[in-house]
Homo-oligomer: A and B are copies of this chain.
Amino acid sequence: MKNPPVVAIAGVTGAVGQEFLRLIEQRKFPFSELRMLASARSAGKTFDYLGKTYTIEELTADSFDGVDIALFSAGGAISKEFGPIAAKAGAVVIDNSSAFRMDPDTPLVVPEVNAEAVRRHKGIIANPNCSTIIMNVAVWPIHQAVGVERVVVSTYQAASGAGAAAMDELEQQARDWAAGDAITQDIFGRQYIWNLFSHNSDIDPLTGYNTEETKMIKETAKIFGDDDLRVSVTCVRVPVLRAHCESINLTLKKPLDENAARELLAAAPGIRIVDDRVGNRHPEPLAASHEDDVLVGRIRSDAGQAPGMGLEIFVAGDQIRKGAALNAIQIAELLL
């Protein structure tokens, strides 16, 4: 790998692609060359970035010659087709799609949890699902300290997880509603403003679990390296733009009181405690938006379990940032 590396961004025009650019600037991520890749539709467009004019190139099999790090966020089909090509060309692929997450040869990494797994890559490293990342950052310090036997989690997920067009539709619905117009509903097929609904991913007709829920279960087991961890999960979309919240109930293997839990979480990387009982200020999606840290609050011993054996927390994390682009950039930083 050259130092500084040649970096390619596959899907640079998307919400996560644009966040990659912001993060490379903010974190002064080093590069000797940046390749801006997207579909043929965007190819040829130019834009200024860090004092230079870039031209978007069409993503093709030839895009990765000489590339050291390829950040993919262009959907699963593109990752499946071009990820292995980029890896074969010598790049380390950091893939934001679900295409390789459960592949035994592909590390699945949340840097705050299993940074060392990066070393085992064979050309591709997978970035986990957004809801998984946000939960894992908050639960891992507790799991490491006393062992978590069971997680029961319900999500409050933002529109951003369904893409920039979904965010636009939600905003348009607010304008439609305020104007007294018919509510635009091209993407979700329903009114989203003043509403919420079960996550829009496909549901397994046999088990009743949707794909988002299955990801949170399977990915967490892989990232934590713990197949015994039991995860019960319900994924829900709420009318919020870009940060996910999760209500997380833990059953512990060894007792941990809420003060010890709060200290553990406060000292853990990637977490900011927002837990003001008097002022009633706790993690909220607006406060988490555009932030690096996962906000953790409502930390309390669970009255519904044996004393010290249960813990409740409520978390909020930016879906586009820590849930996607930031986690990938952190993985890239581990590679340097």
Chain A residues within CB distance 8 Å of chain B: 150-152, 154, 156, 174-175, 177-179, 190-191, 193-198, 200, 202-205, 207-210, 217, 230-234, 236, 238-241, 245, 247, 249, 258, 277-278, 280, 282, 284-286, 297-305, 310, 312, 314
Docked complex Cα distance between A280 and B197 (Å): 9
Q: Are B230 and A305 in contact (CB under 8 A)?
A: yes
Interface residues of A: mostly helix, strand, loop or mixed?
mixed
Residue picked from A152, A231, A297, most chain B C-beta under 10 Å = A152
Number of copies: 2
Query: Do A284 and B178 form a contact, CB below 8 Å, given A152-B152, A209-B300, A231-B304?
Result: no
Q: Are A174 and B196 in contact (CB under 8 A)?
A: no
Docked complex Cα distance between A175 and B175 (Å): 8
| Residues in chain B near residue A310, CB distance under 8 A | 232
| Residues in chain B near residue A241, CB distance under 8 A | 194
Query: Do A240 and B314 form a contact, CB below 8 Å, given A234-B247, A249-B152, A300-B207?
Result: no
| Residues in chain B near residue A209, CB distance under 8 A | 300, 303
Q: Are B193 and A174 in contact (CB under 8 A)?
A: yes
| CB nearest neighbor in B for A231 | B304
Query: Do A198 and B297 form a contact, CB below 8 Å, given A191-B286, A230-B305, A314-B236?
Result: yes
| CB nearest neighbor in B for A238 | B238
Docked complex Cα distance between A190 and B209 (Å): 35
